[in-house]
Amino acid sequence: MSAEWAGNGRPIRVVAFGGGRGLSASLRALRLLRAELDLDITAVVTVGDDGGSSGRLRAERGGLPPGDLRQALVALTDPSDPVARRLADLLQFRFSGTDRQADPLAGHAVGNLLLCGLMEQTGDVVLALDEARDMIRAAGRVLPMSRTPLSIEATVRGDDPARPDQVTTVRGQHAVAVSRGVVDDVRLLPAEPVASAEAIDAVGSADWLVFGPGSWFTSVIPHLLLPDLAAAIAACGARRLVTLNLAAELETAGLSLPDHLRALARYLPGLRVDVVLADGRAVGDPIGLQSAAESLRARVVLAPVAVADGGPRHDPIALASALHEVLRGRVLGGHDLERSRAGGHDLGRSSAGG
């Protein structure tokens, strides 16, 4: 892809995979670039959440957990549009209270209830998400990775600190995410679930696939565990970008950034990646990262993408500035954006995190 390719008369089709805060960070950055680069943005979202408001609605109503889908829609709204901003704020509003027996609304986000209502009204989760997108004027499409609610199960070593060598099975996305042990393996239940046809179609027509940042075992890798979606990812002609995290989470404690890349290759053998984007301040082993990236045939791009206060959160504007160079094809030969902005493009800085 050349810089001129982006202006060839049709949008650049970008498909971003994930769930929760990590995917939201990517989507906010992509939204900032949508007009300038003429991006057609699609988010493919995990559907394994079983905690909080989403978990309660999933258990009580039986549909897809709405929380990560809601977060993706909100991330794609334009805060400069007062109507969209007001609607996004409403979707994010959470009812107060902790006594769920006395107050069934306690803890629920308005957007979760809205999505559940739309899903039940339309009888089609994709149609419901498309209607929600139109309501809040989102700058892209949000799709579930599967129309079936899924569960995550992991083999964890040392979940009990008193028994560091004990291997146990941990079930549920929330339980895996807060596990204190080392995740040896992760899988989906039911086994070999079917991906949504719309997600597969989006991958097939994409120019870029974006993985990360986010919870690696519960938000990123699950997309590779659906056989038909994994096959589409492997077979498509799109370029692939992996955005690495800024700090370890509980589920990836002890997992280095090179290990993150090796995990992707483990769950999708033969995966080819074009660009690995990382913040140089988060890279503890640059040689190891370069080696792991090369095993995927990828170039490492370093860029200052963290919030200015030093927290482990991606700054949407800084991330957008780095993505601008990547999506325009200016860094496919290898680049260090911490030393050069590859032509001087700079969207500025923001204290808002992802």
**Residue 182: what are its φ and ψ, rounded to 5°?**
-100, 125
Number of domains making up the chain: 3
Does residue 331 sit in the same domain as residue 218?
Answer: yes
CATH number of 203's domain: 3.40.50.10680
Take residue 173 and report the two structure tokens written for it. 């996305």
Domain that holds residue 134: 51-144
- Letter for the amino acid at 15? V
Cα 223–Cα 40–Cα 199 angle in degrees, nearest 5 = 30
Does residue 74 sit in the same domain as residue 171?
Answer: no
Does residue 162 sit in the same domain as residue 215?
Answer: no
Beta carbons within 10 angstroms of residue 187's beta carbon: 16
Query: Alpha-carbon dihedral of residues 224, 228, 234, 237, nearest 10 degrees?
Result: -130
Q: How confident is the model at residue 311 (pLDDT cuts 50, 70, 90)?
A: confident
Take residue 176 and report the two structure tokens written for it. 């895996």
Domain closes at, from 187, 210, 242: 187
Across the chain, how many H-helices and E-strands are there?
Answer: 12, 11
Q: Quick one: average pLDDT of 185-202?
A: 95
Q: What is the CA radius of gyration of the chain?
A: 19
Q: Is the pLDDT of residue 338 over 60?
A: no
Q: What is each CA distance from 304 to 18, 33, 208, 347, in whole angstroms?
A: 21, 17, 21, 13
**Residue 135: what are its φ and ψ, rounded to 5°?**
-60, -45
**Residue 83: what are its φ and ψ, rounded to 5°?**
-70, -45
Q: Which residues pair with 16 in a beta bridge?
A: 43, 210
Rounded distance, CA 296 to CA 274, Å? 8
Does residue 14 sit in the same domain as residue 95?
Answer: no
Does residue 235 sit in the same domain as residue 315?
Answer: yes
Supply the pTM of this predicted model: 0.91
Q: What is each CA distance from 216 to 11, 58, 328, in whole angstroms?
A: 29, 23, 26
pLDDT digits (tens, 9 = 90+) for 87-119: 999 999 999 988 777 789 999 999 999 999 999
Does residue 324 sit in the same domain as residue 214?
Answer: yes
Q: Is the pLDDT of residue 220 over 70?
A: yes
Does residue 29 sit in the same domain as residue 55?
Answer: no
Does residue 278 sit in the same domain as residue 167?
Answer: no
- Letter for the amino acid at 26? S
Take residue 296 and report the two structure tokens written for it. 């995927």
pLDDT digits (tens, 9 = 90+) for 17-60: 999 899 999 999 999 999 999 999 999 999 999 999 999 999 99
Contacts of residue 19, Cβ cutoff 8 Å, sequence gap at least 6: 45, 46, 48, 49, 68, 71, 72, 214, 215, 218, 219, 222
Does residue 226 sit in the same domain as residue 281?
Answer: yes
Does residue 183 sit in the same domain as residue 194?
Answer: no
DSSP three-state, residue 259: helix
Does residue 218 sit in the same domain as residue 319?
Answer: yes
Domain closes at, from 144, 168, 202: 144
How many CA atoms, within 13 angstroms, populate the side-chain half-sphere of residue 349? 8
Q: Is the pLDDT of residue 253 over 90?
A: no
Q: Residues 192-229, buried b or exposed e (16+ Cβ, 10 A)? A: ebebbebbbebbeebbbbbbbbbbbbbbbbbbbbbebb
Take residue 354 and report the two structure tokens written for it. 């992802």
**Residue 11: what are its φ and ψ, rounded to 5°?**
-65, 155
Q: How confident is the model at residue 161 (pLDDT cuts 50, 70, 90)?
A: confident
Does residue 89 sit in the same domain as residue 158?
Answer: no
DSSP three-state, residue 350: coil
